[in-house]
Amino acid sequence: MAIVLGDDQYGKAETRVVRIYRDTDRHEIRDLNVSTALRGDFTAAYLTGDQSKVLPTDSQKNTCFAFAKERGVGEIEDYALALAGHFTDDIESVTSARVEVDEYRWERVAVDGASHPHTFVRAGHEIRTAAAVIDTEGFVNAQWVVSGVRDLVVLKSTGSQFTGFLRDRYTTLPEATDRILATSLTARWRYAETDVAWGEAFGQVRQILLERFAVVHSRALQQTLWEMGSAVLAARDDVAEIRLSAPNKHHFLADLSPFGLDNPGEVFHADDRPYGLIQCAVVREGAPPAGSAWDAPASFA
Amino acid sequence: MAIVLGDDQYGKAETRVVRIYRDTDRHEIRDLNVSTALRGDFTAAYLTGDQSKVLPTDSQKNTCFAFAKERGVGEIEDYALALAGHFTDDIESVTSARVEVDEYRWERVAVDGASHPHTFVRAGHEIRTAAAVIDTEGFVNAQWVVSGVRDLVVLKSTGSQFTGFLRDRYTTLPEATDRILATSLTARWRYAETDVAWGEAFGQVRQILLERFAVVHSRALQQTLWEMGSAVLAARDDVAEIRLSAPNKHHFLADLSPFGLDNPGEVFHADDRPYGLIQCAVVREGAPPAGSAWDAPASFA
Amino acid sequence: MAIVLGDDQYGKAETRVVRIYRDTDRHEIRDLNVSTALRGDFTAAYLTGDQSKVLPTDSQKNTCFAFAKERGVGEIEDYALALAGHFTDDIESVTSARVEVDEYRWERVAVDGASHPHTFVRAGHEIRTAAAVIDTEGFVNAQWVVSGVRDLVVLKSTGSQFTGFLRDRYTTLPEATDRILATSLTARWRYAETDVAWGEAFGQVRQILLERFAVVHSRALQQTLWEMGSAVLAARDDVAEIRLSAPNKHHFLADLSPFGLDNPGEVFHADDRPYGLIQCAVVREGAPPAGSAWDAPASFA
Amino acid sequence: MAIVLGDDQYGKAETRVVRIYRDTDRHEIRDLNVSTALRGDFTAAYLTGDQSKVLPTDSQKNTCFAFAKERGVGEIEDYALALAGHFTDDIESVTSARVEVDEYRWERVAVDGASHPHTFVRAGHEIRTAAAVIDTEGFVNAQWVVSGVRDLVVLKSTGSQFTGFLRDRYTTLPEATDRILATSLTARWRYAETDVAWGEAFGQVRQILLERFAVVHSRALQQTLWEMGSAVLAARDDVAEIRLSAPNKHHFLADLSPFGLDNPGEVFHADDRPYGLIQCAVVREGAPPAGSAWDAPASFA
């Protein structure tokens, strides 16, 4: 039976683009990590080493920088769409392009109570993400945008229990009626369209995720994730699907009884590994199909 | 349109199991990082918080330790299969289980020229990996094993060129007729069966990957990957598919001309970011379908 | 010539203590990483393996948890002093103790515009640090407190130049009259006393560092650091010394000229390595001597 | 009281120099991470921003590359000495230079049983280090070389106990008569001279460290470190001092008794944090003084 090339993609990963807007004395900063991945008519590059249809990853990097100047960054979803559209439109051999962008947030430094015009301090623990995918093969120039956030670390110090679970012969875990629930959330949501006020939408989704995490009494991290994800879809008709990946960052109650101390949920050891890992998708029935939206560059390995 | 739960899975990630065999004075060590992920009848846990069918991730962790004692580790593929089989066979609500294992390699310390019976030093930069997936839903107890290696860092100081590539308006890269080619390879190969001499197979695949990287004159990393992957499939009928992910770890020639020095491929700057990222699969036509084999726990995010 | 034991210390590093205050429904959270290091009469432990004077590192860890309950955390400087004082006062063999604490910052989640009583989100990129050292050997129970901040990432998009520097035969750098200046600052300042309003002092020092970074026109990172450090000492008589370590996080102007684009300080590549590294101390003449204040646990290696 | 500049240094950190020797078809590779730090007459740079005596860190980077070509790498100690000597000899404002080098090890790929002439695979988990310091201020051109190794991960599965230790009110640790002892060793040794066969010396010291770790029955990590360090000094008269930093990488016995399984030292959980941290120096009485040898660039923060 023949040995053949299967799926393949290539691109430039982690181009660190910093864009300063200095049209006035009050500068703006956008700080990005951009990865491109192209698919198309590249079989010859693999089978014979023929590079005549291969746009170098170095050129892809140059394009990320040039676009940051020529068209500006705007919302990262728009920037990613523009780059993906360029690769599929202008490079004949490319049939599909995925562009992923991480954005790091900066705040202005306050000086004498006023925000400084050109000095910034890195803000926030979390990272805003976006992926745009344009696929011209088997689709009529289909486009997907997946926005997201990662490293969103949240914790509630009560309002969480874990009881009534299945017990097998390897189960030793006691039931917990009041525990810390903490996670470092990765959330990614796929839009049903590409004409969205991205920044506003991001802010709203992030706020819903935080609020639901806060107000839902948790009977398990699974239930909390469902409540978070379904609330996002309920609030925004333009979100077709949301995927949540949540490590259960265990906080173990310190045993202080040998020292004559009680510990009613006050002192915890924050453990590193292992951790529970809960992952789910919440989807809208009848939404447009996901197509290539979720095929991350890392999916091959 | 209704909002519903999509794909979901949960488990315990990164349980660090160390198994010492001490039946004789000459101890053996196996050092593992084990992650489990279960799928099944868990909708109620999400929608109502009902945990009655949920085996705690803590129990999954306990099982990893207990199995290391009860049945031993053996080859990590066997250990992963045994764990996956246990979860699907013995826990009624589980229809599918994925178990991933990383193994860290140790060598014996040499003392007076003889290998020491119970002292070891961590060896090697690379990590051996295995994933076993058992899926009882929609299949008749289908099983897949994916073995692999990651962080396999290789470099050739000649025998690599990059010429004849496509040029667009953003292309500035000069052609290179003799360059360093370096990557940190992640390779994962799916077996067509589960009755394999895993350790021997791993050694053979690793050696083929290294040899092909060495002897193929590279006209692009794409071509090198194809040669590596197809050689593995040609050598082993029991490998159905191999996936390769290879960052192009750029080594830029240092410009020494301002100092009156030539630099004929002798002094390089090893750069961090950005990097090219080339990913491909090489598959055997007519091989058994991949099913759930490649759905990594991280695929959700 | 005899071979003898030189300096030595031991302790428990990176105990992850999380303290929840739940006296009312409005919980408070303190999230710490605590490292202890003891010195004293421990020569026998090294030379003969006699552990009779060695307090286990496990006990030191227990003490970190117990103190978080018994006396609470308060400001991390107080918590560190209390732990250091306990080890030197209560463990006869201990003559010197260093306790280092990192604190991770959390903010309350906002729900319907109101801050939630028990749900928190990790805030900020930077980490507040404190070290308390008590040394009873050769001193009369001397105490030092060193407060600090690390990972304080700041950037100014103008107001920085680098000109007029020394040129040797290996110099190719062009002069820059307007560049990005960015660093990830580590600052640590030693107090001349231990009766300080730690939290308020931390806030003031941090603000001075940020303001001086913003308003000083930089002729080099060296000058900026001096201005930052000396302003701290000028503002607070109780600070004897400040040490600053600042990687020059290079932002290189992207060359867009091949694409017919100018780039007047708008698009940059944020590079990883190498980086300049500028380190200096600013000290008050006549301040109390530093003694053991700066001997970090890592100083041995 | 006046506010003045204290200690200061600056340089270029982490220049990633790769040197290929290709004088014959059988290439050689040297893979280095080089950091430079200069001290001298730089007060004006801080106080007034005057850069006229400041050699840019960019020039220091260029020098690292140029020297790799002009004089080659040789042993990293020689390369570091040459760079340090250049900065102190040729740059008038520099009175002291420290150059630190990490070296990553590569092995040749074997093809058909023969080692390949130009293809290499990263080998080993550990990193060889060297620091050269030349100080012309207050000394008559004093030179120090400190060689070392880090990330040398070793483990013994028996031959280690921890008993008879001090117990206080916070002690709960049971005595252990047979435990795993594991560490990730950082060792750095200062030579009494600079005319040493560096590579051979490195190999001998590394071997002594491993052998002593293996054969000494450990009554505590402290004792093991002493035995390792003192054996190095006993074997080599040219080593004045060795410093060892050893995290106690705890391996906790898994409790399998709930599952009806005994666990006589066979199954362990390798924990991450916290960890014990034992650090000591072993010195030769009457050896030449250490001077600036141990002042690492990181010492400021």
What integer pLDDT is reported at residue B292 of this predicted model? 85
Neighbours of B168 (CB within 10 A): 16
pLDDT in tens, D183-192: 999 999 999 9
**Is pLDDT of D75 > 90?**
yes
Q: Where in chain D is the domain with CATH 3.10.270.10?
A: 8-140, 151-301
- Pick the residue from chain D with its C-alpha nearest to B179: D20
What integer pLDDT is reported at residue A294 of this predicted model? 87
Q: How many CA atoms lie within 13 A of B281 on its CB side?
A: 18
Please give the backbone phi and psi of residue C198, each rounded to the nearest 5 degrees, phi first: -60, -45
pLDDT in tens, D32-63: 999 999 999 999 999 999 999 999 999 999 99
Q: Which chains touch A (3 or more CB pairs under 8 A)?
A: B, C, D
Which residue of A16, A34, A58 to mutate against B (max B Cβ within 10 Å)?
A58
Cα angle A33, A35, A39; round to 5: 170
Instruction: Rounding to the nearest 10 degrees, give the CA dihedral for residues C7, C8, C9, C13.
Output: 110
**Is pLDDT of B86 > 70?**
yes
Is D250 considered catalytic here? yes
| Complex ipTM value | 0.96
- Pick the residue from chain D with its C-alpha nearest to A274: D271
What distance in Å separates the CA atoms of residue C148 and residue C186, rounded to the nearest whole number?
7
pLDDT in tens, C128-182: 999 999 999 876 679 999 999 999 999 999 999 999 999 999 999 999 999 999 9
Identify the H or E element spanning C248.
Answer: strand C239-248
Which residue of B31, B122, B218 to mutate against D (max D Cβ within 10 Å)?
B122
* B218: nearest Cα among B286, B278, B298: B278
Residues in C closer than 8 angstroms to A264, CB to CB, are: 22
Inter-chain contacts counted by CB atoms under 8 A, chains A and D = 9
State which residues of chain A have pLDDT below 50. Answer: 298, 301
What integer pLDDT is reported at residue C264 of this predicted model? 97
Q: What is the DSSP letter of B175?
A: P
Q: What is the pTM of this model?
A: 0.97
- Pick the residue from chain C with its C-alpha nearest to B261: C170
Topology (CATH) of C1-140? Urate Oxidase (3.10.270)
Strand blocks (E) in chain B? 3-13, 15-21, 28-40, 94-104, 106-111, 114-122, 127-135, 142-156, 181-191, 239-248, 251-253, 267-270, 275-284
Q: Which of residues 159-178 of B touch C (CB under 8 A)?
A: 169-170, 172
Confidence of residue D298 (pLDDT cuts 50, 70, 90): very low
What integer pLDDT is reported at residue A234 of this predicted model? 98
What distance in Å separates the CA atoms of residue A15 and residue A38, rounded to the nearest whole number?
15
Topology (CATH) of B149-301? Urate Oxidase (3.10.270)
- Pick the residue from chain C with its C-alpha nearest to D282: C5
> Is C147-301 in CATH node 3.10.270.10?
yes
Smallest Cα distance from A140 to chain C, Å: 31
pLDDT in tens, B19-60: 999 999 999 999 999 999 999 999 999 999 999 999 999 999
What integer pLDDT is reported at residue D125 of this predicted model? 87
Smallest Cα distance from D81 to chain A, Å: 35
Q: Where in chain B is the domain with CATH 3.10.270.10?
A: 8-140, 149-301
Residues in A closer than 8 angstroms to B7, CB to CB, are: 280-281
Mean pLDDT of chain D: 96
What integer pLDDT is reported at residue B297 of this predicted model? 52
Cβ of A20 within 8 Å of Cβ of C180? The answer is yes
Instruction: Find out whether A293 and A146 touch, Cβ atoms under 8 Å.
Output: yes
Share of chain C above pLDDT 70, in %: 97
- Pick the residue from chain C with its C-alpha nearest to D224: C46
> Is B8-140 in CATH node 3.10.20.600?
no
Residues in A closer than 8 angstroms to D170, CB to CB, are: 259
What integer pLDDT is reported at residue B294 of this predicted model? 87
Q: Where in chain A is the domain with CATH 3.10.270.10?
A: 8-140, 147-301
* B190: nearest Cα among A6, A11, A294: A6
Share of chain D above pLDDT 90, in %: 93
Cβ of B169 within 8 Å of Cβ of C259? The answer is yes
Instruction: Find out whether D295 and D195 touch, Cβ atoms under 8 Å.
Output: no
C97: left (phi over 0), alpha (psi -120 to 50) or beta: beta
Mean pLDDT of chain B: 96
Q: If DSSP codes are grouped into helix, strand and coil, which group holds residue C126?
A: coil
What integer pLDDT is reported at residue B177 of this predicted model? 97
A253: left (phi over 0), alpha (psi -120 to 50) or beta: beta
Which residue of A255, A273, A275 to mutate against D (max D Cβ within 10 Å)?
A273
What integer pLDDT is reported at residue C296 of this predicted model? 61
pLDDT in tens, D153-164: 999 999 999 999
Q: How many CA atoms lie within 13 A of C204 on its CB side?
A: 16
Is B61 considered catalytic here? no
Cα angle C158, C162, C167; round to 5: 165
What CA–CA distances, in Å, run from A282 to B2, B44, B184, B225? 10, 14, 35, 37
What distance in Å separates the CA atoms of residue B83 and residue B69, rounded to the nearest whole number?
13
Mean pLDDT of chain A: 96
Cβ of C93 within 8 Å of Cβ of D166? The answer is yes
Smallest Cα distance from D275 to chain A, Å: 12
Q: Does C113 touch chain D (CB under 8 A)?
A: no
Topology (CATH) of D151-301? Urate Oxidase (3.10.270)
Specify burial of residue D192 (Cβ count, 10 A radius: 0-12, 13-18, 19+).
middle
Mean pLDDT over residues D168-192, rounded? 98
**Is pLDDT of D152 > 50?**
yes
Cβ of C166 within 8 Å of Cβ of D51? The answer is yes
CA C280 to chain centre: 14
Is D53 considered catalytic here? no
Mean pLDDT over residues D195-202, rounded? 98
Q: Which of residues 230-259 of A touch D (CB under 8 A)?
A: 258-259
Identity of the residue in B243, B274, B299 whose CB atom sits nearest the CB atom of A14: B274
Q: Where in chain C is the domain with CATH 3.10.270.10?
A: 1-140, 147-301
Cβ of C171 within 8 Å of Cβ of D55? The answer is yes
Confidence of residue C52 (pLDDT cuts 50, 70, 90): very high
Q: What is the DSSP letter of A206?
A: H
What integer pLDDT is reported at residue D296 of this predicted model? 61
